[in-house]
Amino acid sequence: MDNLNALFAKVREEFPALTQKVHGKPLSYLDSGATTLKPKAVIDRITQFYSFETSNVHRGAHYLGDVATQGFEGARHTVAHFLNAKTSDEIIFVRGTTEGMNLIAQTLGLTTLKAGDEILITEMEHHANIVPWQMIAEVKGATVVAAGTLDNGELDVEDFKKKLNSKTKIVSFTACSNVLGTNNDMKLLTKLAHEVGAKVVIDGAQIVSQAPVDVQAIDCDFFVFSAHKIFGPFGFGVVYGKKEILEQLPPYQGGGSMISKVTIAKTTYNDVPFRFEAGTPHVEGAVGLHAAIDFTKRIGLDKIHQYEMQLLKSATEKLSAIPDIKIIGTAANKGPILSFNLKGAHHSDVGQILDREGVAVRAGHHCCQPLMARFGVPGTVRASFSVYNNEDDINALVKAVAKAREMLL
Protein backbone atom coordinates (compact mmCIF):
# COMPACT_ATOMS: atom_id res chain seq x y z
CA MET A 1 0.00 0.00 0.00
CA ASP A 2 2.90 2.35 0.73
CA ASN A 3 4.20 1.78 -2.80
CA LEU A 4 0.77 2.63 -4.19
CA ASN A 5 0.61 5.84 -2.16
CA ALA A 6 4.11 6.79 -3.29
CA LEU A 7 3.18 6.19 -6.94
CA PHE A 8 0.13 8.43 -6.77
CA ALA A 9 1.97 11.11 -4.83
CA LYS A 10 4.16 11.39 -7.94
CA VAL A 11 1.09 11.33 -10.19
CA ARG A 12 -0.39 14.23 -8.22
CA GLU A 13 2.63 16.37 -9.10
CA GLU A 14 1.63 16.16 -12.78
CA PHE A 15 -1.49 18.31 -12.24
CA PRO A 16 -0.71 22.06 -12.26
CA ALA A 17 -4.20 23.00 -10.99
CA LEU A 18 -3.37 21.52 -7.59
CA THR A 19 -0.57 24.02 -6.95
CA GLN A 20 -3.10 26.80 -6.29
CA LYS A 21 -5.04 27.83 -3.21
CA VAL A 22 -8.77 28.57 -3.01
CA HIS A 23 -9.98 31.11 -0.46
CA GLY A 24 -6.51 30.88 1.08
CA LYS A 25 -6.76 27.09 1.54
CA PRO A 26 -5.01 24.30 -0.38
CA LEU A 27 -7.32 23.07 -3.14
CA SER A 28 -8.90 19.69 -2.48
CA TYR A 29 -10.51 18.90 -5.83
CA LEU A 30 -13.25 16.30 -5.28
CA ASP A 31 -15.35 16.94 -8.38
CA SER A 32 -13.84 14.48 -10.85
CA GLY A 33 -17.26 12.99 -11.56
CA ALA A 34 -18.09 16.30 -13.27
CA THR A 35 -14.70 16.62 -14.96
CA THR A 36 -11.17 15.47 -14.28
CA LEU A 37 -8.26 17.84 -13.93
CA LYS A 38 -5.74 17.74 -16.76
CA PRO A 39 -2.17 16.43 -16.40
CA LYS A 40 0.72 18.36 -17.89
CA ALA A 41 1.17 15.69 -20.58
CA VAL A 42 -2.29 16.50 -21.99
CA ILE A 43 -1.83 20.26 -21.66
CA ASP A 44 1.55 20.06 -23.39
CA ARG A 45 0.22 17.90 -26.22
CA ILE A 46 -2.58 20.34 -27.01
CA THR A 47 -0.13 23.25 -26.80
CA GLN A 48 2.18 21.40 -29.20
CA PHE A 49 -0.67 20.96 -31.67
CA TYR A 50 -1.71 24.62 -31.59
CA SER A 51 1.90 25.84 -31.66
CA PHE A 52 3.30 23.70 -34.46
CA GLU A 53 0.70 21.38 -36.02
CA THR A 54 -2.37 23.56 -36.65
CA SER A 55 -4.05 22.45 -39.85
CA ASN A 56 -7.28 20.89 -41.01
CA VAL A 57 -7.26 17.16 -41.59
CA HIS A 58 -7.70 14.61 -44.38
CA ARG A 59 -7.32 16.73 -47.54
CA GLY A 60 -4.52 19.19 -46.90
CA ALA A 61 -1.96 19.04 -49.72
CA HIS A 62 0.89 20.07 -47.42
CA TYR A 63 3.06 18.89 -44.56
CA LEU A 64 1.03 20.33 -41.67
CA GLY A 65 -2.13 18.77 -43.08
CA ASP A 66 -0.40 15.39 -43.05
CA VAL A 67 0.83 15.87 -39.48
CA ALA A 68 -2.62 16.88 -38.24
CA THR A 69 -4.27 13.97 -40.07
CA GLN A 70 -1.79 11.51 -38.60
CA GLY A 71 -2.50 12.85 -35.12
CA PHE A 72 -6.27 12.73 -35.62
CA GLU A 73 -6.40 9.24 -37.11
CA GLY A 74 -3.71 8.02 -34.72
CA ALA A 75 -6.06 8.97 -31.89
CA ARG A 76 -8.81 6.92 -33.51
CA HIS A 77 -6.55 3.85 -33.56
CA THR A 78 -5.58 4.44 -29.92
CA VAL A 79 -9.22 4.71 -28.83
CA ALA A 80 -10.10 1.54 -30.76
CA HIS A 81 -7.32 -0.32 -28.94
CA PHE A 82 -8.35 1.23 -25.61
CA LEU A 83 -11.90 -0.15 -25.99
CA ASN A 84 -10.79 -3.33 -27.79
CA ALA A 85 -12.92 -2.53 -30.83
CA LYS A 86 -12.45 -4.82 -33.83
CA THR A 87 -11.40 -1.92 -36.05
CA SER A 88 -10.91 1.83 -35.87
CA ASP A 89 -13.82 2.13 -38.35
CA GLU A 90 -16.06 1.50 -35.31
CA ILE A 91 -14.88 4.70 -33.59
CA ILE A 92 -16.81 7.93 -34.25
CA PHE A 93 -15.57 11.23 -32.87
CA VAL A 94 -18.24 13.53 -31.39
CA ARG A 95 -18.39 16.46 -28.95
CA GLY A 96 -19.06 14.28 -25.91
CA THR A 97 -21.35 11.68 -24.37
CA THR A 98 -24.42 13.88 -24.80
CA GLU A 99 -23.91 14.35 -28.53
CA GLY A 100 -23.07 10.66 -28.82
CA MET A 101 -26.38 9.68 -27.24
CA ASN A 102 -28.25 12.06 -29.51
CA LEU A 103 -26.44 10.65 -32.55
CA ILE A 104 -27.50 7.12 -31.65
CA ALA A 105 -31.07 8.13 -30.80
CA GLN A 106 -31.47 10.00 -34.09
CA THR A 107 -29.97 7.22 -36.22
CA LEU A 108 -30.59 3.89 -34.51
CA GLY A 109 -33.83 5.13 -32.97
CA LEU A 110 -34.99 6.62 -36.26
CA THR A 111 -34.46 3.39 -38.20
CA THR A 112 -35.33 0.84 -35.49
CA LEU A 113 -38.37 2.15 -33.66
CA LYS A 114 -42.01 2.06 -34.65
CA ALA A 115 -45.25 2.86 -32.83
CA GLY A 116 -45.71 0.72 -29.73
CA ASP A 117 -42.03 -0.16 -29.33
CA GLU A 118 -40.19 0.38 -26.05
CA ILE A 119 -36.83 1.79 -25.02
CA LEU A 120 -35.64 0.42 -21.69
CA ILE A 121 -33.39 2.59 -19.50
CA THR A 122 -32.88 2.74 -15.71
CA GLU A 123 -33.90 5.17 -13.00
CA MET A 124 -30.25 6.06 -12.40
CA GLU A 125 -29.60 7.55 -15.84
CA HIS A 126 -28.12 10.97 -16.51
CA HIS A 127 -30.49 13.25 -18.44
CA ALA A 128 -28.27 12.71 -21.51
CA ASN A 129 -29.46 9.10 -21.50
CA ILE A 130 -33.11 9.99 -20.95
CA VAL A 131 -34.05 13.07 -22.97
CA PRO A 132 -32.70 11.96 -26.40
CA TRP A 133 -34.74 8.74 -26.10
CA GLN A 134 -37.85 10.68 -25.09
CA MET A 135 -37.41 12.95 -28.11
CA ILE A 136 -37.16 10.12 -30.64
CA ALA A 137 -39.88 8.12 -28.84
CA GLU A 138 -42.27 11.03 -29.29
CA VAL A 139 -41.49 11.18 -33.01
CA LYS A 140 -41.84 7.41 -33.53
CA GLY A 141 -44.73 6.70 -31.14
CA ALA A 142 -42.55 4.58 -28.87
CA THR A 143 -42.37 4.55 -25.05
CA VAL A 144 -39.46 5.03 -22.65
CA VAL A 145 -39.56 2.56 -19.73
CA ALA A 146 -37.23 2.63 -16.71
CA ALA A 147 -36.02 -0.26 -14.54
CA GLY A 148 -36.05 0.50 -10.83
CA THR A 149 -33.29 1.07 -8.30
CA LEU A 150 -32.98 -0.71 -4.96
CA ASP A 151 -32.68 1.22 -1.69
CA ASN A 152 -28.91 0.64 -1.57
CA GLY A 153 -28.49 2.15 -5.03
CA GLU A 154 -28.08 -1.08 -6.97
CA LEU A 155 -30.07 -1.70 -10.12
CA ASP A 156 -33.15 -3.85 -9.53
CA VAL A 157 -32.11 -6.57 -11.98
CA GLU A 158 -35.34 -8.51 -11.47
CA ASP A 159 -37.32 -5.43 -12.45
CA PHE A 160 -35.00 -4.97 -15.43
CA LYS A 161 -35.75 -8.55 -16.52
CA LYS A 162 -39.50 -8.07 -16.05
CA LYS A 163 -39.52 -4.96 -18.22
CA LEU A 164 -37.65 -6.64 -21.07
CA ASN A 165 -40.10 -8.02 -23.63
CA SER A 166 -40.72 -8.42 -27.35
CA LYS A 167 -41.55 -4.70 -27.63
CA THR A 168 -38.12 -3.69 -26.25
CA LYS A 169 -36.03 -2.60 -29.23
CA ILE A 170 -33.32 -0.53 -27.52
CA VAL A 171 -31.77 -0.87 -24.05
CA SER A 172 -29.61 2.03 -22.87
CA PHE A 173 -27.97 2.14 -19.45
CA THR A 174 -25.09 3.68 -17.54
CA ALA A 175 -22.01 1.61 -16.75
CA CYS A 176 -21.49 3.63 -13.56
CA SER A 177 -23.99 5.98 -11.94
CA ASN A 178 -22.68 9.52 -11.67
CA VAL A 179 -24.67 9.97 -8.44
CA LEU A 180 -24.65 6.62 -6.66
CA GLY A 181 -21.32 5.30 -7.96
CA THR A 182 -23.08 2.00 -8.69
CA ASN A 183 -21.25 -0.11 -11.26
CA ASN A 184 -23.74 -2.03 -13.39
CA ASP A 185 -22.96 -5.48 -14.79
CA MET A 186 -22.50 -4.53 -18.44
CA LYS A 187 -22.10 -8.11 -19.69
CA LEU A 188 -25.20 -9.39 -17.90
CA LEU A 189 -27.47 -6.54 -18.92
CA THR A 190 -26.25 -6.75 -22.52
CA LYS A 191 -26.87 -10.50 -22.61
CA LEU A 192 -30.39 -10.10 -21.22
CA ALA A 193 -31.20 -7.36 -23.74
CA HIS A 194 -29.89 -9.37 -26.67
CA GLU A 195 -32.06 -12.32 -25.64
CA VAL A 196 -35.14 -10.27 -26.58
CA GLY A 197 -33.48 -8.91 -29.73
CA ALA A 198 -32.81 -5.40 -28.41
CA LYS A 199 -29.82 -3.26 -29.35
CA VAL A 200 -27.64 -2.16 -26.41
CA VAL A 201 -26.24 1.32 -25.78
CA ILE A 202 -23.92 1.97 -22.81
CA ASP A 203 -23.16 5.36 -21.27
CA GLY A 204 -19.52 4.84 -20.29
CA ALA A 205 -18.72 8.39 -19.17
CA GLN A 206 -17.94 7.49 -15.56
CA ILE A 207 -16.36 4.07 -16.10
CA VAL A 208 -13.55 4.76 -18.59
CA SER A 209 -11.19 6.42 -16.11
CA GLN A 210 -11.54 3.72 -13.45
CA ALA A 211 -11.65 0.30 -15.15
CA PRO A 212 -10.73 -1.39 -18.45
CA VAL A 213 -13.52 -1.60 -21.03
CA ASP A 214 -13.64 -4.43 -23.59
CA VAL A 215 -16.55 -3.79 -25.94
CA GLN A 216 -16.11 -7.14 -27.67
CA ALA A 217 -16.27 -9.06 -24.40
CA ILE A 218 -19.29 -7.02 -23.27
CA ASP A 219 -20.83 -7.46 -26.75
CA CYS A 220 -22.63 -4.10 -26.53
CA ASP A 221 -23.76 -2.52 -29.78
CA PHE A 222 -22.75 1.01 -28.78
CA PHE A 223 -20.53 2.53 -26.08
CA VAL A 224 -20.15 6.27 -25.51
CA PHE A 225 -17.79 8.39 -23.40
CA SER A 226 -16.33 11.90 -23.05
CA ALA A 227 -12.65 12.85 -23.14
CA HIS A 228 -12.94 15.28 -20.24
CA LYS A 229 -13.93 12.46 -17.87
CA ILE A 230 -10.59 10.73 -18.46
CA PHE A 231 -8.12 13.64 -18.12
CA GLY A 232 -8.69 14.86 -21.69
CA PRO A 233 -10.09 18.11 -23.12
CA PHE A 234 -13.64 19.43 -23.11
CA GLY A 235 -15.84 19.23 -26.18
CA PHE A 236 -14.65 15.86 -27.41
CA GLY A 237 -16.04 12.35 -27.11
CA VAL A 238 -16.33 8.92 -28.64
CA VAL A 239 -19.09 6.70 -29.97
CA TYR A 240 -18.16 3.06 -30.47
CA GLY A 241 -20.59 1.16 -32.66
CA LYS A 242 -20.46 -2.28 -34.22
CA LYS A 243 -19.46 -1.74 -37.84
CA GLU A 244 -22.20 -3.92 -39.27
CA ILE A 245 -24.78 -1.76 -37.46
CA LEU A 246 -23.15 1.58 -38.30
CA GLU A 247 -23.13 0.71 -41.99
CA GLN A 248 -26.92 0.41 -41.92
CA LEU A 249 -27.54 3.78 -40.24
CA PRO A 250 -28.18 7.14 -41.95
CA PRO A 251 -25.96 10.17 -41.25
CA TYR A 252 -26.69 12.26 -38.18
CA GLN A 253 -25.67 15.62 -39.71
CA GLY A 254 -24.94 16.83 -43.24
CA GLY A 255 -21.97 18.83 -44.52
CA GLY A 256 -18.36 18.41 -45.47
CA SER A 257 -16.34 15.23 -44.85
CA MET A 258 -19.37 12.96 -44.47
CA ILE A 259 -19.99 12.78 -48.22
CA SER A 260 -18.72 10.70 -51.11
CA LYS A 261 -20.26 12.74 -53.95
CA VAL A 262 -22.56 15.76 -53.97
CA THR A 263 -24.73 17.03 -56.81
CA ILE A 264 -27.66 19.40 -56.61
CA ALA A 265 -29.96 16.44 -57.15
CA LYS A 266 -28.43 13.89 -54.80
CA THR A 267 -25.67 13.14 -52.28
CA THR A 268 -23.98 9.82 -51.65
CA TYR A 269 -22.46 9.36 -48.23
CA ASN A 270 -18.98 8.45 -47.09
CA ASP A 271 -18.01 5.16 -45.46
CA VAL A 272 -18.15 4.74 -41.69
CA PRO A 273 -17.03 6.32 -39.45
CA PHE A 274 -16.67 9.44 -41.61
CA ARG A 275 -20.34 9.65 -42.62
CA PHE A 276 -21.06 10.56 -38.96
CA GLU A 277 -18.37 13.27 -38.73
CA ALA A 278 -19.68 16.26 -40.64
CA GLY A 279 -17.64 19.45 -40.69
CA THR A 280 -14.26 20.50 -39.38
CA PRO A 281 -13.36 18.14 -36.54
CA HIS A 282 -12.04 18.92 -33.07
CA VAL A 283 -8.48 17.86 -33.91
CA GLU A 284 -6.91 19.11 -30.69
CA GLY A 285 -9.57 17.15 -28.81
CA ALA A 286 -8.45 13.96 -30.54
CA VAL A 287 -4.74 14.43 -29.86
CA GLY A 288 -5.56 15.51 -26.30
CA LEU A 289 -7.59 12.36 -25.70
CA HIS A 290 -4.73 10.30 -27.18
CA ALA A 291 -2.38 11.85 -24.62
CA ALA A 292 -4.89 11.25 -21.83
CA ILE A 293 -5.23 7.57 -22.70
CA ASP A 294 -1.44 7.26 -22.81
CA PHE A 295 -1.36 8.86 -19.35
CA THR A 296 -3.78 6.29 -17.88
CA LYS A 297 -1.97 3.40 -19.57
CA ARG A 298 1.35 4.57 -18.16
CA ILE A 299 -0.05 4.41 -14.62
CA GLY A 300 -2.19 1.32 -15.24
CA LEU A 301 -5.97 1.14 -14.86
CA ASP A 302 -5.57 -1.72 -12.39
CA LYS A 303 -3.49 0.49 -10.09
CA ILE A 304 -5.87 3.42 -10.61
CA HIS A 305 -8.84 1.27 -9.60
CA GLN A 306 -7.05 -0.09 -6.53
CA TYR A 307 -6.04 3.38 -5.39
CA GLU A 308 -9.43 4.99 -5.97
CA MET A 309 -11.18 2.20 -4.06
CA GLN A 310 -8.79 2.82 -1.18
CA LEU A 311 -9.80 6.50 -1.21
CA LEU A 312 -13.51 5.66 -1.44
CA LYS A 313 -13.30 3.25 1.50
CA SER A 314 -11.47 5.78 3.68
CA ALA A 315 -13.81 8.64 2.79
CA THR A 316 -16.92 6.51 3.37
CA GLU A 317 -15.75 5.39 6.79
CA LYS A 318 -14.69 8.85 7.96
CA LEU A 319 -17.75 10.64 6.63
CA SER A 320 -20.10 8.01 8.10
CA ALA A 321 -18.68 8.74 11.53
CA ILE A 322 -20.10 12.28 11.44
CA PRO A 323 -23.58 12.48 13.03
CA ASP A 324 -26.51 13.43 10.76
CA ILE A 325 -24.76 12.30 7.56
CA LYS A 326 -26.78 10.11 5.20
CA ILE A 327 -24.91 8.45 2.36
CA ILE A 328 -27.01 7.78 -0.74
CA GLY A 329 -25.74 4.82 -2.74
CA THR A 330 -24.14 1.97 -0.81
CA ALA A 331 -23.89 -0.69 -3.53
CA ALA A 332 -21.23 -3.33 -2.98
CA ASN A 333 -19.70 -2.65 -6.40
CA LYS A 334 -19.10 1.09 -6.61
CA GLY A 335 -16.94 3.55 -8.44
CA PRO A 336 -15.10 6.39 -6.62
CA ILE A 337 -18.24 8.49 -6.10
CA LEU A 338 -19.74 9.40 -2.73
CA SER A 339 -23.11 11.17 -2.55
CA PHE A 340 -24.43 12.31 0.79
CA ASN A 341 -26.66 14.78 2.58
CA LEU A 342 -26.47 16.47 5.96
CA LYS A 343 -29.86 15.89 7.56
CA GLY A 344 -31.70 19.17 8.04
CA ALA A 345 -29.39 21.15 5.75
CA HIS A 346 -29.70 22.03 2.08
CA HIS A 347 -27.07 20.48 -0.16
CA SER A 348 -26.22 23.85 -1.75
CA ASP A 349 -25.50 25.40 1.67
CA VAL A 350 -23.17 22.52 2.51
CA GLY A 351 -21.41 22.86 -0.83
CA GLN A 352 -20.82 26.59 -0.30
CA ILE A 353 -19.29 26.02 3.14
CA LEU A 354 -17.04 23.30 1.74
CA ASP A 355 -15.90 25.66 -1.00
CA ARG A 356 -14.86 28.27 1.58
CA GLU A 357 -12.67 25.55 3.11
CA GLY A 358 -10.99 24.86 -0.25
CA VAL A 359 -12.95 21.64 -0.87
CA ALA A 360 -14.45 21.42 -4.36
CA VAL A 361 -17.52 19.18 -4.57
CA ARG A 362 -20.73 19.22 -6.61
CA ALA A 363 -24.12 19.97 -5.06
CA GLY A 364 -27.42 19.53 -6.87
CA HIS A 365 -29.41 16.93 -8.77
CA HIS A 366 -26.41 16.03 -10.98
CA CYS A 367 -28.64 15.90 -14.10
CA CYS A 368 -30.47 12.94 -12.54
CA GLN A 369 -33.83 14.32 -11.44
CA PRO A 370 -35.72 11.00 -11.75
CA LEU A 371 -33.14 9.39 -9.45
CA MET A 372 -33.48 12.23 -6.95
CA ALA A 373 -37.26 11.68 -6.97
CA ARG A 374 -36.68 7.95 -6.37
CA PHE A 375 -34.71 8.73 -3.20
CA GLY A 376 -36.98 11.58 -2.13
CA VAL A 377 -34.35 14.32 -2.14
CA PRO A 378 -33.96 17.49 -4.24
CA GLY A 379 -30.23 16.87 -4.58
CA THR A 380 -27.07 15.65 -2.88
CA VAL A 381 -23.54 16.72 -2.12
CA ARG A 382 -21.20 14.62 -4.24
CA ALA A 383 -17.52 14.01 -3.63
CA SER A 384 -15.74 12.09 -6.38
CA PHE A 385 -12.16 10.89 -6.29
CA SER A 386 -9.41 10.43 -8.83
CA VAL A 387 -5.71 9.69 -9.23
CA TYR A 388 -4.57 13.05 -7.84
CA ASN A 389 -6.44 12.81 -4.54
CA ASN A 390 -5.01 11.63 -1.23
CA GLU A 391 -5.83 11.26 2.46
CA ASP A 392 -5.25 14.97 3.01
CA ASP A 393 -8.13 15.70 0.64
CA ILE A 394 -10.37 13.26 2.51
CA ASN A 395 -9.44 14.78 5.86
CA ALA A 396 -10.17 18.25 4.46
CA LEU A 397 -13.57 17.03 3.28
CA VAL A 398 -14.44 15.49 6.64
CA LYS A 399 -13.28 18.57 8.56
CA ALA A 400 -15.29 20.87 6.27
CA VAL A 401 -18.45 18.74 6.56
CA ALA A 402 -18.11 18.75 10.34
CA LYS A 403 -17.84 22.53 10.21
CA ALA A 404 -20.92 22.72 7.98
CA ARG A 405 -22.81 20.64 10.53
CA GLU A 406 -21.86 23.02 13.32
CA MET A 407 -22.94 26.03 11.28
CA LEU A 408 -26.18 24.72 9.81
CA LEU A 409 -27.69 22.48 12.47
266-312 pLDDT tens trace? 999 999 999 999 999 999 999 999 999 999 999 999 999 999 999 99
Tell me the CA distances in angstroms from 56 to 18, 287, 367, one per residue in order.
34, 13, 35
Burial environment of residue 26 by CB neighbours within 10 A (0 to 12, 13 to 18, 19 or more): middle
Compute how many other C-beta atoms are within 10 angstroms of the C-beta atom of residue 127: 16
* CATH class label, 2-30+300-408: alpha beta
Catalytic amino acids? 367
Q: Is CATH 3.30.360.10 the right assignment for the domain spanning 44-297?
A: no
Residues of the chain with pLDDT under 70: none
Q: Comparing C-alpha atoms, which of 366, 354, 362 is closest to residue 398? A: 354
In 79-95, which positions are buried (b, 16+ CB within 10 angstroms) versus exposed (e)?
bbebbebeebbbbbbbb
- Residues 114, 111: Cα–Cα separation, whole Å: 8
Based on DSSP, count helices (H) and strands (E) in the chain, helices before strands: 15, 17
The domain ranges of the chain are 2-30+300-408, 44-297
- pLDDT, residue 2, reads 81
pTM (global) more than 0.85: yes
In 319-339, which positions are buried (b, 16+ CB within 10 angstroms) versus exposed (e)?
beeeeebebbbbbeebbbbbb
pLDDT tens column, 82-115:
999 999 999 999 999 999 999 999 999 999 999 9
- pLDDT, residue 29, reads 98
- pLDDT, residue 267, reads 94
- pLDDT, residue 85, reads 98
- Residues 280, 153: Cα–Cα separation, whole Å: 41
- Measure the CA angle with vertex 399, ends 394 and 403; round to 5°: 145
- Residues 230, 212: Cα–Cα separation, whole Å: 12
- pLDDT, residue 139, reads 97
> CB–CB of 106/250 below 8 Å?
no
